[in-house]
Amino acid sequence: MYIHPNMLRKQNRLVAGHRGMKSCYPENTLLSFEKAIELGVDMLEMDLNVSKDGELVVMHDLIVDRTTDGTGAIRSLTLNELKRLNAGVKMAPEFTGLQIPTFDEFCQLVGQHPHLLLNVEIKDKTEECTKKAIRTLNRYNLIPMCVFTCFDADILRLIYQKYDLPTQGFPGFKMQHFEYGLKGTLSYMSAV
């Protein structure tokens, strides 16, 4: 496993932009990520889901209702349908017109900033989402910058065992399929 030098910094903290700079800009939009980068974050955290037609999109919830002007499950909408949604208007009128980014668009943005670390959260807790995410990150040479997060211990085990990549999980009571014990879920998590 490759460890990026930024992960070994002597300071005690890394500053991460959670869903970009979501306190000031619509979460998980390219604008939110750009503003977090401008602010000088060390890491970006983002969430991945899969559209009806199998495209990776950057969005926290499994449904579009909370953050867009649409309704329904991401898995029930095609990429074209998702792109037509307004991902900024619910935060403030001045953000009208922002779109849900594809994971490719996100990778193109962060690829311009080789110092950035990435916290890739698999929200669509499937092997399909995981495999496509890793394939995309490989295509952009971003794998060395990543830690993978999921609330499903089975997905973390897959990432650790099949791909030998660093994983981050949560306390057992917050995770699905968490196994306690020395050989359980904690044995394949790099961070909690």
The residue annotated as part of the active site, out of 4, 60, 113, 115, is 60
Distances (CA, A) of 150 to 14, 78, 90, 168: 20, 24, 26, 7
For residue 1 the two structure tokens come to 């496993």
Neighbouring residues of 108: CB distance < 8 A, sequence distance ≥ 6: 140
**Known catalytic residue at 177:** no
Of 4, 18, 113, 115, catalytic: 18
For residues 184 and 123, give the distance between their C-alpha atoms in angstroms, rounded to a whole number.
22
Taking the C-alpha atoms of residue 154 and residue 160, their distance in angstroms, rounded to an integer, is: 10
| Sign of the four-CA dihedral 154, 158, 159, 165 | positive
Give 191's DSSP letter: B
18 catalytic? Reply is yes
Supply the residues annotated as catalytic.
18, 60
